[in-house]
A and B are shown apart, each in its own frame.
Chain A
Amino acid sequence: MRAWLIQHREAAADALRRLAATPVNSLLGALVLGIALALPAGGEMLLTNFQRLVRNAAATPQLSLFMTLDAGRKDAAEIEARLRRHPLTGEVRFVPREDALRRFKASEGLGEVIESLPRNPFPDAFVVVPRSESPEELERMRAEFAKYPRVEHVQLDSAWVKKLDAMLRLSRLAVALLAGLLGVALVAVTFNTLRLQILTRSAEVEVSRLLGATDSFIRRPLYYFGALQGLAGGIVAWIIVFAAAQLLKAPVGELAALYSLDFALRALPPADSLALLGAAVLLGWLGAWLSLGRHLRNGDR
């Protein structure tokens, strides 16, 4: 166990030494990997912020219930009670027909038209804010409320929710696709660097085998090399995304202020940052694994 730990420490130190021995190459490699990773990571950051902005700024989806014109206050009270009992409703607001009339009279242009009508054309209404935002559940609630007695019509302002949902899903898919492609690029880059490493080390590999090195002894520093290079790329990507967020923060804040929105751009949250670094390490390791399998003949000498 102790020997095993020592060998891992030595392998990691060896990989670090080799990265440090060719600083320009290592830095360029990290930059290539970093830029490749920064694109999907940046996309993810923008999407997350956009989603937050939408949540903040746009009103949450609402359901409007309109009673029939002949429904009385008693019917309305009964519906109100049922709405409040419903597990999926949040806020329930009653809009009496008199209030609606008053509001429309006050509005520019419409006032005179309303005035000329013989009687109040507005029904009693409810505005319901649901607890859930999933389009399916909203649709189910609409259908259910429409069956309540003396409810004439239920309107669901969900069209935009659906559209937004579809758009976000599409963007996420695009980011995932990009991440997949660039992940492959990262593996390819590591694959090639490891091939060069194996070539440079061919003498060492041969001598080590003759002196009784196991395959894992020979492979270990190379795995570390791939993983560390991936990590370096991940760190560069994180810095790029962080710097971009810092640069965008002020202009985005100004823009948000113009629309009187309370919104500030946020860089990658800790969980996403860790995921980014973890993915970078994993992809580097994978590149190393593929390269070792291809280029490091398991010597039976």
Chain B
Amino acid sequence: MIRFEQVSKRYPGGIEALHELGFSIEAGEMIILSGHSGAGKSTLLKLIPAIERPTRGAVIVNGQNVAALKRAGIPFLRRKLGLIFQDQKLLFDRNVFDNVMLPLAIAGVAPRDAARRVRAALDKVGLLDREKAMPVALSGGEQQRLAIARAVVNRPAILIADEPTAHLDDDYARDIAETFHSFNQVGVTVLVATHHDALFAPFMTRRLTLSHGRLA
């Protein structure tokens, strides 16, 4: 489903974030990506939705080489992925419901159908009763769950999360890890970058460890 072939990423200034990386992830797998901060976890995740492009190598997503994808094709790639960003990237000018609505509006889903799907996604993360709330009024854990609801509302086959449990206390963090596991249980391929790998240990997932831009 996702395959990295000899992928290197060098940022301007000569910093090499990833070096000759090669691995593959099968459909339905749940992968934990761990490593010290600065190991290149975020860079690796950003290559998949073409937020960053590799300097060398191929990133194959669903049989398509994302590294060579034309600019006009990128939006359609991203719509097939569920992305959870390290800084969440919630929009604070609109309520919970409208935040989750955004991906569906982008995809051009008819409003009535979309509203149903938004509520289903909010229900899955336990935020159904907060749909009218503004994101500032949510706790850290709730904000993270909102970000997850927005990522899954389009029913993506691949879910990618960058440090989803950062800044959360243990109960909330366990809760979030549980949520990812439940998505994986229903067949979604899940890739989570975290330094909290102990949280995901109970799920017996495969682990990729990065160290200085190489797989350890």
Q: Which residues of A contact B (CB under 8 A)?
A: 2-4, 6-7, 10, 203-204, 206-214, 217, 298, 300-301
Q: Given A211-B103, A212-B77, A217-B106, A204–B51 Cβ distance below 8 Å?
A: no
- B110 touches which of A6, A206, A211, A213 (Cβ 8 Å): A6
In the complex, the answer to whether A207 meets B89 with C-beta atoms within 8 Å is yes
Q: Give CA–CA (A228, B72) in the complex, Å.
A: 28
Residue of A nearest to B88 (CB): A207
- A300 touches which of B71, B83, B108, B109 (Cβ 8 Å): B71
Closest chain-B Cβ to A21's Cβ sits at a distance in Å of: 10
Q: Give CA–CA (A298, B72) in the complex, Å.
A: 11
In the complex, the answer to whether A6 meets B71 with C-beta atoms within 8 Å is no
User: Which of chain B's residues 37-93 have a Cβ closer than 8 Å to chain A?
Assistant: 49, 51, 71-72, 74-79, 83, 85, 89-93
Q: Ordered nearest first, which 6 A-B pairs have the shortest CB separation?
A: A3-B108, A212-B78, A212-B79, A212-B75, A213-B106, A214-B75
Closest chain-A Cβ to B75's Cβ sits at a distance in Å of: 4
In the complex, the answer to whether B91 meets A203 with C-beta atoms within 8 Å is yes
Asked if B111 is an interface residue, CB under 8 A from chain A, the answer is yes
- A207 touches which of B72, B91, B111 (Cβ 8 Å): B91
Q: Given A210-B51, A211-B102, A217-B106, A6–B111 Cβ distance below 8 Å?
A: yes
Q: Give CA–CA (A203, B135) in the complex, Å.
A: 14
Residues of B within 8 A of A217 (CB): 75, 106
Closest chain-A Cβ to B49's Cβ sits at a distance in Å of: 7
Closest chain-A Cβ to B187's Cβ sits at a distance in Å of: 21
Residues of B within 8 A of A212 (CB): 74-79, 103, 106-107
Q: List 8 A-B contacts (CB under 8 A).
A: A6-B108, A10-B111, A204-B93, A210-B83, A212-B76, A212-B77, A212-B103, A300-B71
Majority DSSP secondary structure for residues of A touching B:
helix
- B78 touches which of A3, A204, A211 (Cβ 8 Å): A211
Asked if B137 is an interface residue, CB under 8 A from chain A, the answer is no
Residues of A within 8 A of B51 (CB): 210, 301
B-side interface size class = 20 to 34
Closest chain-A Cβ to B62's Cβ sits at a distance in Å of: 14
Q: Given A6-B111, A204-B91, A300-B71, A210–B49 Cβ distance below 8 Å?
A: yes
Asked if B201 is an interface residue, CB under 8 A from chain A, the answer is no
Residues of B within 8 A of A210 (CB): 49, 51, 78, 83, 85, 89
Residues of B within 8 A of A7 (CB): 105, 108
Q: Give CA–CA (A3, B79) in the complex, Å.
A: 15
Q: Give CA–CA (A203, B87) in the complex, Å.
A: 12
Residue of A nearest to B150 (CB): A211
Residues of B within 8 A of A208 (CB): 102, 106
Residue of B nearest to A9 (CB): B111
Residues of A within 8 A of B102 (CB): 207-208, 211
Q: Give CA–CA (A206, B85) in the complex, Å.
A: 12
In the complex, the answer to whether A10 meets B103 with C-beta atoms within 8 Å is no
Closest chain-B Cβ to A14's Cβ sits at a distance in Å of: 9
Residues of B within 8 A of A206 (CB): 89
Q: Give CA–CA (A6, B106) in the complex, Å.
A: 11
- A211 touches which of B72, B83, B92, B93 (Cβ 8 Å): B83
Residues of B within 8 A of A301 (CB): 51
Residue of B nearest to A5 (CB): B108
Q: Given A6-B111, A203-B91, A204-B93, A211–B106 Cβ distance below 8 Å?
A: yes
Q: Give CA–CA (A67, B90) in the complex, Å.
A: 94
Q: Give CA–CA (A204, B91) in the complex, Å.
A: 7
Residues of A within 8 A of B93 (CB): 203-204
Q: Give CA–CA (A204, B109) in the complex, Å.
A: 19
In the complex, the answer to whether B75 meets A213 with C-beta atoms within 8 Å is yes
Q: Give CA–CA (A206, B76) in the complex, Å.
A: 16
Q: Give CA–CA (A63, B79) in the complex, Å.
A: 78
Q: Give CA–CA (A207, B147) in the complex, Å.
A: 12
Q: A212-B79, A213-B106, A298-B71 are in contact. List 15 more A-B contacts (CB 8 A).
A: A3-B110, A6-B110, A6-B111, A7-B108, A10-B105, A203-B89, A203-B92, A204-B91, A211-B78, A211-B150, A212-B103, A212-B107, A213-B75, A214-B72, A217-B106
